[in-house]
């Protein structure tokens, strides 16, 4: 579904939308998407050379070229409240090892399944459960996958210095992987297997806490080392945020007892002022945790997945917490345009817009094969029904 887009007019409107939103005087709800190279890999015109994740992960030039190819295609086909068309300043690229980089740094083996994002095999199965305690935290720059992270970073920076261009534009910035985190519990689930770590929390809590402590220490060690390498302060003076999708598996009481202390420790170690608010990304059914996270972790921006009742979340959290979310990815993938329109209207009329701190997006991360017609429908419906005046 190809449409003519007046990029200059679109980009001017987007600048105004975000300026007003950030000033606390929104004119309408901003609309964004969560998508990465997995979305375009199955689209022939976006991926004419059939680049696979295994190729993408193992060659820096392939990663660089395909990432820009993906960005170029998205900027010309998928409407959203961000700059579209050719970027004015050039391409912002990053070393992209998806959601496996932390576990692969700690020693998990990456595997590539057809038509899927890369995943890792649990490292600490059976009699190997204490392996990491014996090995210690790997070097942030030479251990596991992180050696490749910095090789790719240096390669992309050399290409930038050489003035290399694609679609007539240079590389504007290069960012390594590893400055954020998918969260200590999620990493523990990767290391042990989700079912086994869930059992550990109940059957062997001392071991579970020991592993959570090890992983949290590793996260903090790596992020501080990377900040030093990039000449940033070890403790950020501004806001911060992280993810930990696997707390979906826990009751709020178990989260408080077993995982919250490690989330608080990350704030203490990585923020100049840990009393300041943070953002969090949580996929899945975490509705029961939201008020607790606001009150105990000072979360003031929540990027949600599904199933989440956004109207209920707004009523319980009040107008001062930023919420991101919207129609579920299965509906966007399998539903009709009319169903997408109806669900978008339902979300926007749920009360979630109260207070002006709502960003409309899919819940959460667009699935490959999602019809572009449905994305256009959601975007246009959001612009129509998401106005504040």
98-112 pLDDT, tens digit per residue, is 999 999 999 999 999
Give the other-Cβ count within 10 Å of 259's Cβ: 23
Is the backbone of residue 107 left (phi > 0), alpha (psi -120 to 50) or beta? left
Contacts of 81 (CB under 8 A, 6+ apart): 14, 17, 18, 30, 31, 32
Q: What is the chain's mean pLDDT, rounded?
A: 97
If you average pLDDT over residues 204-217, what whole number do you get?
98
Structure tokens at 59: 């060659």
Fold type of domain 1-30+277-389: TIM Barrel (3.20.20)
Q: HSE-up of 275 (CA within 13 Å, CB side)?
A: 0
The three-state (H, E, C) secondary structure of 74-116, written as one string = HHHHCCCCCCCCCCCCCEEEECCCCCCHHHHHCCCEEECCCCC
3-state secondary structure of 135: helix
Distances (CA, A) of 382 to 81, 326, 344: 11, 10, 7
Structure tokens at 198: 């869930």
pLDDT, tens digit, for every residue of 19-66?
999 999 999 999 999 999 999 999 999 999 999 999 999 999 999 999
Give pLDDT tens digits for 252-302. 999 999 999 999 999 999 999 999 999 999 999 999 999 999 999 999 999
Compute the average pLDDT of residues 230-258.
97
Please indicate, yes or no, whether the overall pTM of this predicted structure exceeds 0.85. Answer: yes
Burial status of residue 24 (CB atoms within 10 A of its CB: 0-12, 13-18, 19 or more): exposed
In angstroms, rounded to a whole number, what is the distance separating the alpha carbons of residues 338 and 381? 10
Sorted by where each begins, the domain ranges of the chain are: 1-30+277-389, 36-118+127-178, 179-241+249-275
């Amino acid at each position: 579904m190809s449409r003519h887009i007046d990029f200059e007019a679109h980009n001017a409107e987007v600048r105004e939308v975000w300026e007003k939103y950030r000033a606390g005087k929104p004119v309408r709800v901003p609309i964004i998407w969560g998508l990465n190279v997995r979305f375009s890999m199955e689209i022939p015109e976006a991926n004419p050379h059939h680049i696979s994740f295994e190729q993408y992960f193992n060659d820096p030039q392939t990663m660089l070229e395909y990432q820009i190819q993906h960005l170029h295609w998205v900027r010309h086909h998928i409407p959203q409240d961000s700059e579209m068309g050719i970027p004015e300043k050039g391409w912002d690229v990053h070393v992209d090892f998806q959601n496996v980089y932390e576990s692969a740094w700690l020693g998990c083996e990456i595997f590539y399944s057809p038509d899927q994002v890369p995943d890792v095999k649990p490292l600490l199965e059976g009699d190997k459960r204490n392996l990491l305690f014996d090995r210690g935290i790997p070097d942030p720059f030479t251990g596991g996958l992180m050696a490749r992270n910095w090789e790719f970073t240096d390669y992309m920076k050399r290409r930038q210095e050489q003035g290399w261009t694609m679609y007539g534009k240079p590389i504007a910035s290069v960012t390594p992987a590893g400055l954020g985190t998918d969260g200590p519990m999620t990493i523990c689930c990767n290391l042990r297997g989700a079912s086994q770590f869930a059992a550990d929390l109940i059957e062997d809590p001392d071991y579970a806490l020991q592993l959570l402590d090890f992983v949290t220490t590793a996260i903090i060690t790596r992020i501080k080392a990377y900040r030093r390498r990039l000449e940033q302060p070890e403790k950020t003076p501004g806001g911060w945020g992280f993810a930990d999708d696997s707390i979906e598996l826990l009751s709020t009481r178990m989260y408080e007892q077993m995982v919250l202390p490690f989330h608080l420790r990350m704030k203490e170690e990585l923020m100049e002022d840990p009393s300041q608010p943070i953002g969090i990304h949580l996929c899945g059914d975490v509705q029961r945790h939201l008020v607790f996270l606001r009150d105990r972790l000072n979360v003031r921006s929540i990027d949600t997945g599904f199933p989440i009742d956004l109207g209920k979340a707004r009523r319980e959290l009040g107008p001062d917490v930023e919420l991101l979310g919207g129609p579920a990815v299965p509906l966007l993938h399998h539903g009709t345009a009319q169903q997408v329109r109806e669900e978008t209207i339902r979300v926007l009329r749920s009360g979630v817009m109260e207070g002006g701190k709502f960003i409309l997006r899919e819940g959460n991360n667009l699935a490959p094969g999602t019809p572009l017609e449905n994305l256009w429908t959601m975007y246009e419906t959001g612009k129509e029904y998401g106005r504040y005046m």
